[in-house]
Structure 1
Amino acid sequence: MPLPFLEAAMVLTWSSGFIGMRFSADYAPVYLVTLWRFIALSIGLFPFVAREMRHAPKSVLIRQSCIGALAMAGYLAGVAGGVQLGVPAGLAALIADLLPVGVVLITTCLFRQRSPAVVWAGLGLGLAGTLIVCRDALSLGSAPAWAYGLPVAGMLSLAAGTVWQQRSSHCGTLTPLGMLWLQSLVSCPIFLALQASQGRIAPMLSAGFAASVAWSVIFATLGGCGLYWACLRRTSSARVTSVLFLSPPVTLIWAWAMFREPLSWLMALGTVISGAGILLVVNRSSGDGG
């Protein structure tokens, strides 16, 4: 499938994750839904990846487990934890969408990999467009001051996992489905401990809870995360993460369709500006051979 089609599907499903958090908050604690999301994935995907796991080198399994702890558990624990403590969902989503900036900062500061000026210009436009789109959704909220650092830590955790994955791809890796299974398995004990510290760990016997888990499994994980790793196998991390600048406007369209939240021309303007920034990064990535 052409890469732009994969990227479009990635943005669509990735954006659904924030809607899933909002939807599930009406039925259960965010960490409880996330825990059972990973339990369901660990059980459901095992028959499809068992053979791959048996034949994968131990070094690959260990490395992918560490990447999963950063990119899946660390990211979701930070973003969801911030929302659960009172950080407004719009602000948490905006911080999460700074992922491309986090990736470039890590590669620049840790690996001395300089990014061309056109990439920085593209990231700047993408960020400006995102700020415009999210303007009406932003507020400071009433969370304790330290809670605002959780989404930042989550975003940087995913950025670190992304950089590690791309820089180690020449050492052997798993298929996107195998990566999802292993990342889900590694995330189970982490969210078990987080939820156990707050309350019950047993699933809630309600249609709303089941729908929340199903939504996060199918759309956010198999769709969003699976396509994220699939795209990262085919092109640069700067390009893949910059495409996610389109996540806020798509999230707002999801919110309009599901919760009848209003749309505005200002959101359309921000989307156009973000799109221009993405084109700069995409064209640069294409010029470098992806």
Structure 2
Amino acid sequence: MTTVAAPAADRHPLLWPIMAGLLILGWSSGYVGIRYANQEAGIVLLLFWRTLLSGLILMPFALAFGPRLEWRAVLSQMGFGVMAVFLYLGGFALAIGRGVPTGLVALMADLLPLAIAALSQPVLGERLSPRQWLGTAVAVTGVLIVSLDSLAFGAAPVWAYGLTAGSMLVFALASVLLKGRRSLDMPVHQALCIHSLTGAALFGICALATGDSLAPPLTRDFAIGIAWLVLLGTFLAYSVYYTSLRLFSAARVSAAIYLCPPVTMVWDWALFDEPLTALIFAGLAVTMLGVWLTSR
């Protein structure tokens, strides 16, 4: 079953602003869930339960609704799951575990739209206009302003720093390939189920290989964090992201992610009493200008 994007003229003018808002809400919320759950468990165990529960909840819907799942399509989606879930999330987790500062990892993750913009032309033939490249540069500047206070360089090995960039590039490549291979389209809930279960299997293997138990901590904060990551960080963020890729250009969709760092800090202020500084508001204003230029 191939999903055909509706012509731009047939879409409601508010469709993209609504989807962009939901994407920013879901994508930025992932850091909040990690902050809750990571106090009770290691990153790999956290990612295992996040992906396992996401996949198991989606499985009945994936089997009951949508076209029959054929092995060729399932195997292809498993490949995307390895890239977009296991290598992307797991690469950042390993980098943090090896001593790369969290602020630097978050900055690399938030530069994802820049990589997608660069890959869109050679892979998809989506050429950015000079205005969009200007908007990209302005948005990157805004992200750097917001991240300035949290940036630091730790004593991690050189390869760990390269891993952060590699993880981001892998997800960028998965995004443009997923958009480009229209013949392998399937409903988002089915694709996300396969991606999640693929990631869960690989994260479980990694945990067992290092001698860790897969038993979840039976604590309130871990439960809140996992529920947050499943409902907002996975179901909302990934489903809106994949749906948006089918309707709009990859560069336009990914540009919304530039707004995640300042929105994440608003989450931190609201839930954890973290201060909001003038630098954050300045970065937010610059980033919004860049996203507006890129999305026009």
**TM superposition score normalised by structure 2:** 0.89
Q: Does 1:75 align with 2:92?
A: no
Superimposed CA distance per residue, residues 179-206 of structure 1 (whole angstroms, 9 cap, x where no aligned partner): 2111011112211122223322222222
> 1:286 corresponds to which residue?
none
Deviation at 1:22, TM superposition (A): 2.4
Q: Does 1:231 align with 2:231?
A: no
| Structure 1 gap segments, 5+ residues each | 284-290
Native 8 Å contact 1:18 1:93 kept in 2: no
Q: Does 1:32 align with 2:45?
A: yes
Residue identity (%): 32
Amino acid at match of 1:144: P
Deviation at 1:24, TM superposition (A): 1.9
Q: Does 1:17 align with 2:33?
A: no
Q: Does 1:180 align with 2:199?
A: no
C-alpha separation in 1, matches of 2:170 and 2:92: 11
Q: Does 1:134 align with 2:147?
A: yes
Deviation at 1:56, TM superposition (A): 3.3
Deviation at 1:172, TM superposition (A): 4.1
The partner residue of 1:260 within 269, 273, 290 is 273
Amino acid at match of 1:94: L
Amino acid at match of 1:209: F
Native 8 Å contact 1:78 1:152 kept in 2: no
Query: Which aligned runs of 4 or more in structure 1 are off by greater than 4 angstroms?
Result: 108-114
Native 8 Å contact 1:31 1:195 kept in 2: yes
Secondary structure at the aligned position of 2:247 is classed as coil
Secondary structure at the aligned position of 1:233 is classed as helix
Superimposed CA distance per residue, residues 102-136 of structure 1 (whole angstroms, 9 cap, x where no aligned partner): 11233345667643322221111110000001111
* Number of equivalenced pairs: 282
Alignment of 1:276-287 (within 5 A): 276-283=289-296
Secondary structure at the aligned position of 1:134 is classed as helix
Native 8 Å contact 2:135 2:292 kept in 1: yes
Over the residues paired in the alignment, what is the CA RMSD in angstroms? 1.9
> 1:288 corresponds to which residue?
none
The partner residue of 2:205 within 189, 193, 200 is 193
Native 8 Å contact 2:123 2:176 kept in 1: no
Deviation at 1:207, TM superposition (A): 2.4
C-alpha separation in 2, matches of 1:185 and 1:153: 23
The partner residue of 1:157 within 140, 145, 170 is 170
> 2:4 corresponds to which residue?
none
Amino acid at match of 1:130: V
**TM superposition score normalised by structure 1:** 0.91
> 1:85 corresponds to which residue?
98
Q: Does 1:46 align with 2:59?
A: yes
Native 8 Å contact 1:95 1:152 kept in 2: yes
C-alpha separation in 1, matches of 2:252 and 2:104: 23
C-alpha separation in 1, matches of 2:234 and 2:245: 15
Native 8 Å contact 1:126 1:274 kept in 2: yes
Native 8 Å contact 1:176 1:226 kept in 2: yes
